[in-house]
């Protein structure tokens, strides 16, 4: 079974800092890896999807990397803002259309 | 931007009752899913649905659960004889179906079983 771990569980940073969220998974045979944002009481918003053949994806201030052989992904957030405060979830697509989620990193960006 | 919509946002039911959670996936999407998140725990896969049938289900998705796409737009999750441990946030999701299609989630239905 695929296990997905996210470190740290929580992170508090001052506004403007660059930060890295980590995700690791036990089985490297994956289709895709997707990063999501979850706001309290809300659904999950897709941020970035990296296909298994790709090394990284970028969207605005976000950059996600994937090292499939070592079972790791990172989400880099540049110049963090208070509006970035949320829980960030990593999800690995092990079988087509079945995703395994990590527990998330709860980010607080202080003004 | 098109979105997945779920109703109701919050459902309270008594133990042993049946509930139906409703979802309208993005209109041109082909694959539909239900996930759940028990408070403080990970988001868990329940079931995927394609071409009017279940394509995969987890060990959680036992005979108590069923899914249906009754009219070509709605996608429902029925939970029979609810138990206290069914209390969770239930998320519907959909994708376009190609390998690089991101998963789009609804805002969820919070189910509380008393």
How confident is residue B70, by pLDDT bands cut at 50, 70 and 90? confident
Instruction: Output the pLDDT for position B99.
Output: 66
Asked if B104 lies within 8 A of A46 by C-beta distance, the reply is: yes
Average pLDDT of the segment spanning B35-41: 93
Question: What are B45-66's pLDDT values in tens digits?
Answer: 999 999 899 999 999 999 999 9
Instruction: Output the pLDDT for position A9.
Output: 95
In the A/B pair of chains, how many CB contacts fall below 8 A? 57
∠ CA B113-B106-A23 to the nearest 5 degrees?
95
The pair of structure tokens assigned to A11 is 């992170």
Q: List CB contacts (< 8 A) between A4 and chain B.
A: 42
Nearest Cα of chain A lies from the Cα of B82 at a distance, in angstroms, of: 22
Instruction: Output the pLDDT for position A110.
Output: 97
Asked if B105 lies within 8 A of A51 by C-beta distance, the reply is: no
Average pLDDT of the segment spanning B82-91: 97
Nearest Cα to Cα of residue B63 among B46, B41, B80: B80
Nearest Cα of chain A lies from the Cα of B106 at a distance, in angstroms, of: 6
The pair of structure tokens assigned to A95 is 């079988």
Nearest Cα of chain B lies from the Cα of A45 at a distance, in angstroms, of: 7
Mean residue pLDDT across chain B: 93
Asked if A46 lies within 8 A of B105 by C-beta distance, the reply is: yes
Flag residues of chain A having pLDDT under 50.
Answer: none
Residue B94, pLDDT above cutoff 90: yes
10 Å Cβ neighbour count for A68? Answer: 19
Instruction: Output the pLDDT for position B92.
Output: 97
Asked whether the bond before A8 is cis by omega within 30 degrees of 0, the reply is yes
Instruction: Output the pLDDT for position B18.
Output: 97
Q: Which SS3 state, helix, strand or coil, does residue A1 take?
A: coil
The secondary structure of chain B, three-state, reads CCCCEEECCEEEECCCCCEEEEEECCCCCCEEEEEEECCCCCEEEEEEEECCEEEEECCCCCCCEEEECCCCCCEEEEECCCCHHHCEEEEEEEECCCCCCCCEECCCEEEEEC
The pair of structure tokens assigned to B6 is 């779920």
Asked if A43 lies within 8 A of B108 by C-beta distance, the reply is: yes
Q: Are strands A105-110 and A10-14 parallel, antiparallel or unpaired?
A: parallel
Average pLDDT of the segment spanning B86-98: 91
Distance CA B8, CA B14 (A): 16
Average pLDDT of the segment spanning B13-29: 95
In chain B, the N- to C-terminal Cα span, in Å, equals: 37
Facing B102 at nearest CB: one of A31, A46, A102: A46
Q: Are strands A62-67 and B31-37 parallel, antiparallel or unpaired?
A: unpaired
Facing A98 at nearest CB: one of B42, B43, B48: B48
């Amino acid at each position: 079974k695929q296990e997905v771990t996210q470190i740290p569980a929580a992170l508090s940073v001052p506004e403007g800092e660059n930060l890295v969220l980590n995700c690791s998974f036990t089985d490297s045979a994956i289709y895709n890896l997707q990063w999501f944002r979850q706001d309290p009481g809300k659904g999950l918003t897709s941020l970035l999807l990296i296909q298994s053949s790709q090394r990284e994806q970028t969207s605005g201030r976000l950059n996600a990397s994937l090292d499939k052989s070592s079972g790791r992904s990172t989400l880099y957030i540049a110049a963090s803002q208070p509006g970035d405060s949320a829980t960030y979830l990593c999800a690995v697509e092990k079988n087509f259309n079945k995703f395994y989620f990590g527990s998330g990193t709860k980010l607080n960006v202080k003004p | 931007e098109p979105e997945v919509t779920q109703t109701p946002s919050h459902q309270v039911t008594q133990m042993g009752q049946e509930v139906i959670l409703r979802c309208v996936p993005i209109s041109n999407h082909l694959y539909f899913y239900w996930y759940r998140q028990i408070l403080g725990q990970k988001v868990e896969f329940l079931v995927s649905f394609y071409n009017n049938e279940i394509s995969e289900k987890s060990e959680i998705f036992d005979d108590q659960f069923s899914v249906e796409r009754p009219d070509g737009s709605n996608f429902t999750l029925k939970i029979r004889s609810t138990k206290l441990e069914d209390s969770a946030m239930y998320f519907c999701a959909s994708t376009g179906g190609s390998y690089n299609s991101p998963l789009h989630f609804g805002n969820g239905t919070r189910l509380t079983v008393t």
